[in-house]
Chains A and B, each alone.
Chain A
Amino acid sequence: MATAIYLEHYLDSIENLPCELQRNFTLMRDLDNRTEEKKGEIDKLAEEYIANVKNLASEQRVQHLQKIQNAYSKCKEFSDDKVQLAMQTYEMVDKHIRRLDADLARFENELKEKLEVSGYESPDAKTLKKGESRAVREKRTPRGRGRKGSDEDSPKKKKMKNGPDLSDALLPMQPSDVLDMPVDPNEPTYCLCHQVSYGEMIGCDNPDCPIEWFHFACVDLATKPKGKWFCPRCTQDKKKK
């Protein structure tokens, strides 16, 4: 439709996404296979070492261990690559989502404007509006966290998720279908409470944090703290060190 050329553009842009996803996943799978191979190799080496260690001179031992070490560093490389790939993929998807959100917001605004311009106070439009307000009220949380991933993996940036995001504004347009977004049982959980993300979340500034994201309420936060923030676990670990 002529109304949304940019949406058409968006469609074009997203056309490649599946392919790219697939490519990335294949790559990861490939890496995985290689890692497994390496692991097998390591196991063999280790067995060998255990069997022969008594007869080996120290240099040989060193050599042997070095081999294992090298295999492991290879494995680690692969793992790093995989993580990197996953993060890239995530960012890619996230980028698309963000763009779509923006476009949709724009689209919706245009739609509204058009309605106003036409000045047609149809009952339908009215119900639509009513529905809107209702939807806002009923809006369930799962969508509310939509934004959260957007700045994920860019820990340098201030990590704050704005709970209600653009997409929320769109939802009301068709409350019925959008709210139907199925609850994904696999949805990743976060925070100390192991719940899915909702509301405002804060990211731990420790890049190796196992949890990464926390609900404000769960870490007793009401507002975004200034400066770096570390989750309770990481704080503890840090202290230990």
Chain B
Amino acid sequence: MGRGRGRGRGRGRGSSGQLRPPSPYRLQLSPSRETLTYAQAQKIVEVDLDGRLHRINITDPLPVITEDEMMAQDISECNSNKENSEQSKSKARSWRKPPNVKGRKNGKSASHQSNRSGSQQHTSHSNSYQLPFQSPLPEPIFRVLSSICPSDAPPLPAAYYRYIEKSGEEQDCEAEYDMDEEDLAWLEMVNQKRVSDGHASVSPDTFELLIDRLERESILESRNQALSQSAIDEDAFCCVCLDDECLNSNVILFCDICNLAVHQECYGVPYVPEGQWLCRCCLQSPSRPVDCVLCPNRGGAFKQASDGRWAHVVCAIWIPEVCFANTVFLEPVEGVKNIPSARWKLTCYLCKEKGRGASIQCHKANCYRAFHVTCAQKAGLFMKIEPVRETGVNGTTFSVKKTAFCEHHSPVGSRRDGSGDEATEGRLVGGRGNRGQRSYTQSPPSPQKKNATKGQKKNTKKGSGGSSRRSTVPVLLVPQIPSHRLNKICTGVAVQRKNQFMQRLHNYWLLKRQSRNGMPLIRRLHSHMQAHKTTEQKEPDEKLCAAREQLRYWQKLRQDLERARLLVELIRKRERLKREQMKIQQAALELKLTPALLLLRSTLDQLQEKDTAKIFSQPVNLAEVPDYLEFISQPMDLSTMNTKLEAHAYCSVADLESDFELMVSNCLKYNSKDSMFHKAALQLQEVGGAILRHAHRQAQSIGLDPSSGMHLPEAPNKHGFYHCSWDDVDSVLDPENRLHLSTEEQLKTLLDKLDIVTSMRSSGGRTKRIRLLRREINNLRQRMSQQQQSSQSVNGNDKEEEEEEEEEEEEEGEGEAKEEGKGKKELVDKAALTSASIPGTDVDSPPVLELTCPVSSPLPGDAPLEPPVLGIVPGGRRSPGRSYKRQRSSRSGSRTHGEDEAEVGETPCPQLEAVHEVTPLGTPPTPPLVGVGRRTSVLFKKAKNGARVGKSKTLEQLGNVAEGKTNGLDGPHTRPDSPRATALSALPTNPTPTPTPPSPSSHRLRSRGHSSDSETDKPSPTPKLEGLTNGLGKHKDVSSDDDQRLSCSASPPKRSRGKPALAKAPSGESEDVAGSGRTLISLDSVTELTPLDLVWAKCRGYPSYPAMIVDPNMPQEGLLHNGIPIPVPPVEVLKLGDRRHDEAGEKLFLVLFFDAKRTWQWLPQDKLLPLGTDDTVDKLRLMEGKKPSVRKSVHAAYDRAMAHLNHVRGNLNFTPSNFI
């Protein structure tokens, strides 16, 4: 890191003069890496300056400064410093404030400044900031301050110091030699003599210098002679273990005289001595070669025995009786006397010399071959020393196991193959025959063999050296220095009587060298020269060296390139980020300038997305529909809107909305109701409305200025749109609370609330309220459309009609309600009825009231109950059915039936109304006040109506479905009949009410059905529902029902309640059933519920499930129904039923489910729905289950039920539906 420092600082200093934009990364703010986000980190370059990390944003421009500029700046800085260092300091501090990258660096140097004296520092801020305004060549202004004394520089960290070795030339210039005491004494003597002779004494320095020169000369000389001692051998091996392994703790030492190589451990040299090291024999017997007492060989590592004789270390190691007295220093050798004479007598089979030394024997058990240790080494026999750990009684003892084999018994692979397997085992001494050969020479007694073993140059050298040493005692390794050279040496020295002195000095030096066995006096020089020599020795390597130099050069180049690459990589990254930044900037500016446009654009995009069919994406093609403009004055489409938007034609969401509305209404206007376009338009209106409302709210919360399309200067206080409690919603739900508003406003608030609620977290309350809100909204819409209609006219505007039908399809409840409304309007009292049809709205709309009145008047009994959704709906329904239905395309009656019934029977239909209807009898969960009473009443009414209708039907057209259908036209007439019919069956109370109310109800239920059988309307609707197939059974039920009523209940409303009383008459009924026979039953099963009927029973929490109504009073012994045994309800069930009855206060039916277990249940009538009468109903029920598993079980049960039905009917007039 320190490397980057200098450069960075120089740059920082240089650039400090430039104008720099403030950087967000100040010194003190420099964020730590951990706190950086990834994106930030990407944009930051870390620089280590003065030991501190700086992070520089890559977007900060770093000015590049030339050296000249820098110099100029430095100069100016110096000036300023001299002027007033104190001031500059303080200034620097203040200047540091403007934070920027360089400022930081300068700040750094400024802090340095505080430590140093002003004159020393080279950076200052005071001036650097003026630089930009100065001319490129600043005028130096200075003043000499006398009073400043430089203070000590603070100690620099160790990193600042580096040891630089002096080059050879430098070293040549100075004397390296240090005098020792001997030299001092000599010099003193010489000087004394010289002084006595009247000459000036020679200074020690001169002496040292001269000696130094002599050394150098001698080295040069010896090199020239090429006779110097061999260099330190790179692959030297220890001559004890024959290993060349060299560890730090166990280095190979070389004797300075004989060049013997031994391991520290092998020779017992725990510490490597300073200076020269000599082996024992060179040290103690330098002039006389030593002989080993244990073997005939010479050379190698010797140690002295206690008696003064010598022995090889290896021999001492291997011969069992011999040991070292000191195991660390491995000396002296002891125990030579202990060697048994037998060992002395052994004859080495290698050297065959008798009576010389002691031998060891092959470890092979039966082999008696003997050999000298050194001979074995020489011969490369297998000799292995391995440490052994023995665990004995006295604990673990370490010993060494030595094994040596003769060449015949060497382990396979190690025989004579040199160093091949040295790695295999610990120390394989014998593995290196050649080494052994090199190490030893035989002692004189057999000199002829000596030369044979010397193959190598080195050995010859050594050998000859050794022998010369031995023979010519003073080894003249010191080269004689020729006199001319001596003269040259002393040229630089001024000494009197130079020649004489030099002669003496030379002699002294020679003696000194000799006394040191010719070792050079300056070791460094020696080794240096040696190294030098080796390189020179390798003349052919010169090329290689050059090549290496070259390679180095290339490597440097490579590094530079690498750096360049890094730089470019950084630049690339920076540019990418800059581009990114540019894009963001653009987006930001766009947001700033045209927020409204963006909002509108996104809104429009969303709208376009919703138009999946692309119906509205393009303008209407007038070529395709030439008459379009006849109907539509202002065509509009999404693409036009888009262009308008881009042209800034819209200022607010409202503008956009109006165009959107226009587009949708155009579509609605032009396309017939049943066309897909119409449908799509309605759909789009729905979803688009939500989107637009959202946009509205956004615009509000953002605070857009419509005139400029920009943000308002102040953000509007956010009135918590999303802070709204259930209470708010509930209060809005209550129509009373929005009486003061117009319908449109109401609708708006409701929609708003709906949005809010939808956006809330889902919860029970939420879904419920959403449902309620939707219902209210639908109601409101209906009302509005009705109002429109009523204002328009009743003349059967087809389009409108269709429209409404469309809506119906999409939102059944709504559609129906509307239609009812319409129907009613026309039939009874247009205006009044319409509004009345909507329970939620009736409060504020007068028509509602009117409606209720007229309706109620004819039927005193039912009137009060009439208003509820269902009740009214039917009423209205029927008439429209009549008047308009003609025009409608027919639909499958069955299906409508199904739907109707679904509604009636409180299926899980999502429609609000349906839900409402479901809840009626139970406690309605909904808060709306409106609902409760009415809804319940509706239900009852429906039942009642059904009954009535049934009655009427039965009377006139017993089981004649076709007739019922066909005579839709004379529905009104039939009506009158029905009352009569009821009368017949004895209903004093109902006669009057029946005519009108019942039919409406039936109508209502069948709204769809009407469409299918356009004619039937009035009379048929009901019939169809229950009686399509069977007038008779119904009739029966009804009659009984009515009977019941008669007998039981007095007041109409109550009666309605009591109506389920059906069940109460079961006994009679059953008889009837029995009497009427199968037809009866089969027919019966439809509407009115009698025992043994099959029904869809709805328990709370379960989908409708096929079940059979069972008469609780049936004989205990059981009962055969058409040959099919009917299970008998257990006593407990019956008991439970009694209790339930008491609790519920109404008639409950005992049903037997068609599940596998055949469970029982008591259910009120409104939970039961005839099964097997209408495919559609059944289908709906079958699909009711939400989970596939549930649906499956319902299917299974349905199959069972159908099977039962078939059995009972004997398959006569019923074929099981095939849709399962």
Contact = CB atoms under 8 A, between A and B. Distances in A.
B541 A53 contact: no
Contacts of A49: 593
B352 interface: no
Contacts of A72: 582, 586, 589
A114 B544 contact: yes
Given A61-B648, A185-B4, A210-B42, A123 B534 contact: yes
A135 interface: no
A65 interface: yes
A229 B72 CA distance: 54
Interface string B548-559: 101110111111
B571 interface: yes
B345 interface: no
Contact of A181 (B48, B559, B565, B575): B559
B42 A1 contact: no
A124 B530 CA distance: 13
Contacts of B592: 46, 50
B1 A183 contact: yes
Nearest to A171: B555
B568 A86 contact: yes
A233 to B, nearest CB: 9
Contact of B569 (A124, A167, A171, A188): A188
A115 B570 CA distance: 41
A14 B560 CA distance: 12
Contact of A124 (B39, B46, B538, B570): B538
B250 interface: no
A20 B234 CA distance: 50
Contacts of B646: 62
B558 A101 contact: yes
A182 B648 CA distance: 59
Given A62-B646, A186-B46, A90 B538 contact: no
Nearest to A192: B38
Measured as residues with beta carbon below 8 angstroms from the partner, the interface class of chain B is: 35 or more
Interface residues of A, number: 78
A186 B550 contact: no
Chain B contact surface mostly: helix
Contact of B594 (A65, A93, A96): A65
B544 A68 contact: no
B1128 interface: no
Contacts of A136: none
B710 interface: yes
Interface string B25-68: 00000000100001101100111100000000000000000000
A41 interface: no
Interface in A74-90: 75-76, 79-80, 82-83, 85-87, 89-90
A182 B551 contact: no
Given A111-B551, A173-B548, A93 B47 contact: no
A186 B576 CA distance: 17
A122 interface: yes
Contacts of B614: none
A165 B261 CA distance: 42
A151 B559 CA distance: 19
A236 interface: no
B113 to A, nearest CB: 24
A235 B48 CA distance: 35
B558 A21 contact: no
Contact of A83 (B563, B576, B586): B576
B573 interface: yes
Given A111-B547, A120-B540, A184 B566 contact: yes
A167 to B, nearest CB: 6
B234 A7 contact: no
A107 B551 contact: yes
A101 B583 CA distance: 39
B1187 interface: no
Contact of A46 (B46, B48, B556, B593): B593
B3 interface: yes
A45 B593 CA distance: 11
A223 interface: no
Interface string A86-103: 110110011011001101
Given A80-B579, A120-B538, A53 B39 contact: no
B649 interface: yes
A194 interface: yes
Contacts of B546: 1
B138 to A, nearest CB: 26
Given A170-B551, A174-B551, A178-B559, 11 more contacts: A46-B589, A59-B648, A65-B593, A75-B586, A80-B579, A123-B235, A124-B541, A125-B544, A177-B556, A189-B41, A211-B42
Interface of B: 1, 3-4, 33, 38-39, 41-42, 45-48, 234-235, 534-535, 538, 540-541, 543-544, 546-548, 550-552, 554-559, 561-576, 578-579, 582-583, 585-586, 589, 592-594, 646-649, 707-710
